[in-house]
Every structure is written in structure tokens, then in C-alpha cells.
């Protein structure tokens, strides 16, 4: 069975700083997808970034980038120039190829301080 | 364009009762997935509907059932409610399957409290 582990329950950083959220996963699959989702307080969950395991290049979306280490089964999210609006719960998630069951980690609560 | 909408927003039920939650997908989306998010946890996949059929199912008992209508809206039914069913129930819709590259859009959720 696949598992997703986020070892940082909560983090706080100052506005404009860079922060990295950790995620490790366990799978015997060779092809899969990894995601980071953001759930702001009392607002809807949105997709931040998506990575296909067969792609060696790390995904990037504006200030958000990932460090995907397939051999280590690690998938961290880096947020550059953090903004107050980045305050949210962040979930790392895994999905097998040919399977739409997304498995979420327990989340990291991120506070951006003014 | 309205995104994914869910009703009701909040619901309080008693153990043993039955509940129906509703979801309207984002315009143009044909696939609906349901998740259960217990307090302090990540969402857990319940099932997915596509073309009015249950396409995939997570590890949830048969007390959890669903339906998708021809207009792609969906319902989640839970029978014989247990205290442990208290959670935020999220609906997500997509045009096609996530494995094919579709992005899931989530609704605001229905907060179910079982007393």
C-alpha cells in the first residue's frame, strides 16, 4: 500500500522568506504522480503543483517549485518570496498511474508572518 | 463560471440516521470524486463517478454509496451513521481523469457532525 508522510505538522516563516515543506512517500510502483495541494483557512483546496514520476525535470509554477528525488522517494515543495496569502494547510499527495485514487498526507500548516 | 458547489454547508445528524450530500461539478466537468477529511487529517478518497457509474472506490464500507446524474451532479449517501463519520466531505470534479492529466477542482465541502 502507498503511504505519504509529511513530517512537519506546522511551520512559520517571515514574509518574503523561502520555505521548504518536506514529503516522503512509499510505493513499489515505477510510474506515478505527485501533487502539492493548498487548503487556505475556510477556503477551497487548490492544486499547487503536479509532477509525473517519469519526468526527471522538477516542476515549477511561479514561486512554487519541487525537489523530486525518485530514488529517495522524496518530494519537497519550495515556496520562494513567501506572501501572506500563502498561509494555508499544504498537502502532499500521491497517485498511481492508471488510477485516480489520490492519497494525501496529513498536511503541514504553514503560517506566513508579517 | 461557478466552481464546484456543495450542499448543505453544515449538517448535524444522530447516530443511526442516513444522510445525503450533494455536489454540482464545475461547468463542463464530467467526473466527480468524493473525499472524507477528518479533523486534522488529509482527505481520504471515497469513490469516483464517471458516466453515471462508480469507476473507483477507496476503503470505505458499503454504508457509503453514491450516484451521478445525467447532468454530472452527484450525491453521496451514508447510511447508519457512526460518530466516526463526522468529518468534512469534499467533492472534486474534473474533465476526464486525473491520470490523463485533468486537474481536480475541489468544492468548499460539507461539514457533517454526528451526535
Whether pLDDT at B1 is above 70: no
Whether pLDDT at B52 is above 70: yes
- Is the distance from CB of A48 to CB of A78 less than 8 angstroms? no
pLDDT computed for residue A75 by the predictor: 97
Q: What percentage of chain B carries pLDDT values higher than 70? A: 99
Whether pLDDT at B98 is above 90: no
Q: How far apart are CA B101 and CA B104, in angstroms?
A: 10
Whether pLDDT at A56 is above 90: no
What lies within 8 Å, CB to CB, of A70 at 6+ separation is: A53
- Is the distance from CB of B92 to CB of B32 less than 8 angstroms? yes
User: How far, rounded to the nearest angstrom, does the alpha carbon of residue B83 sit from its chain's CA centroid?
Assistant: 18
pLDDT computed for residue B96 by the predictor: 86
Verify whether the Cβ–Cβ distance A101 to B43 is below 8 Å: no
Alpha carbon distances (Å) from A93 to A41, A50, A59, B7, B47: 19, 9, 15, 26, 16
Residue B90 Cα, gap to closest chain A Cα (Å): 9
> Which residues in chain A are contacts of B92 at CB distance < 8 A?
45
CA angle, residues B87, B93, B94, in degrees to nearest 5: 145
Q: What is the pLDDT of residues A9-34, one digit of tens each?
A: 999 999 999 999 999 999 999 899 99
Longest CA–CA span in chain A (Å) reads 43
Q: What is the pLDDT of residues A91-109, one digit of tens each?
A: 999 999 878 889 999 999 9
Verify whether the Cβ–Cβ distance B55 to A101 is below 8 Å: no
pLDDT computed for residue B32 by the predictor: 96
pLDDT computed for residue B22 by the predictor: 98
Which residue of A37, A38, A98, A100 is the best one to mutate when testing the B interface, meaning the one whose CB has the most B CBs within 10 A?
Answer: A100
Per-residue pLDDT band at A42 (split at 50, 70, 90): confident
> Which residues in chain A are contacts of B43 at CB distance < 8 A?
45, 91, 102, 104
Verify whether the Cβ–Cβ distance B56 to A99 is below 8 Å: yes
Measured between CB atoms, does B41 come within 8 Å of chain A?
yes
Q: How far apart are CA B50 and CA B29, in angstroms?
A: 10
Measured between CB atoms, does A95 come within 8 Å of chain B?
yes
Residue of A4, A45, A100 lying closest to B98 (CB–CB): A100
Among residues A40, A16, A35, which one has the least CA distance to residue A75?
Answer: A35
Q: What is the pLDDT of residues B53-81, one digit of tens each?
A: 999 999 999 999 999 999 999 999 999 99
Amino acid at each position: 500500500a502507498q503511504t505519504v508522510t509529511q513530517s512537519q505538522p506546522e511551520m512559520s516563516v517571515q514574509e518574503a522568506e523561502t520555505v521548504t515543506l518536506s514529503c516522503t512517500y512509499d510505493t513499489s510502483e515505477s510510474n506515478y504522480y505527485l501533487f502539492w495541494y493548498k487548503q487556505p483557512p475556510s477556503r477551497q483546496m487548490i492544486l499547487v503543483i503536479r509532477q509525473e514520476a517519469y519526468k526527471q525535470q522538477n516542476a515549477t509554477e511561479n514561486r512554487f517549485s519541487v525537489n523530486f528525488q525518485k530514488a529517495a522517494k522524496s518530494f519537497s515543495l519550495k515556496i520562494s518570496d513567501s506572501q501572506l496569502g500563502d498561509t494555508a494547510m499544504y498537502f502532499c499527495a500521491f497517485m498511481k498511474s492508471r488510477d485516480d485514487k489520490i492519497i494525501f498526507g496529513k498536511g503541514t500548516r504553514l503560517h506566513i508572518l508579517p | 463560471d461557478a466552481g464546484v458547489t456543495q450542499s448543505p454547508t453544515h449538517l448535524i445528524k444522530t447516530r443511526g440516521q442516513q444522510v445525503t450530500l450533494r455536489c454540482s461539478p464545475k461547468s463542463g466537468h464530467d467526473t466527480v470524486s468524493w473525499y472524507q477529511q477528518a479533523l486534522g487529517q488529509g482527505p481520504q478518497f471515497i469513490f469516483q463517478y464517471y458516466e453515471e457509474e462508480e469507476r473507483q472506490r477507496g476503503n470505505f464500507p458499503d454504508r457509503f454509496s453514491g450516484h451521478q446524474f445525467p447532468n454530472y451532479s452527484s450525491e453521496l449517501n451514508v447510511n447508519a451513521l457512526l460518530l466516526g463519520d463526522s468529518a468534512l466531505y469534499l467533492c472534486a470534479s474534473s474533465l476526464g481523469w486525473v491520470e490523463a492529466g485533468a486537474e481536480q477542482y475541489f468544492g468548499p465541502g460539507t461539514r457533517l457532525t454526528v451526535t
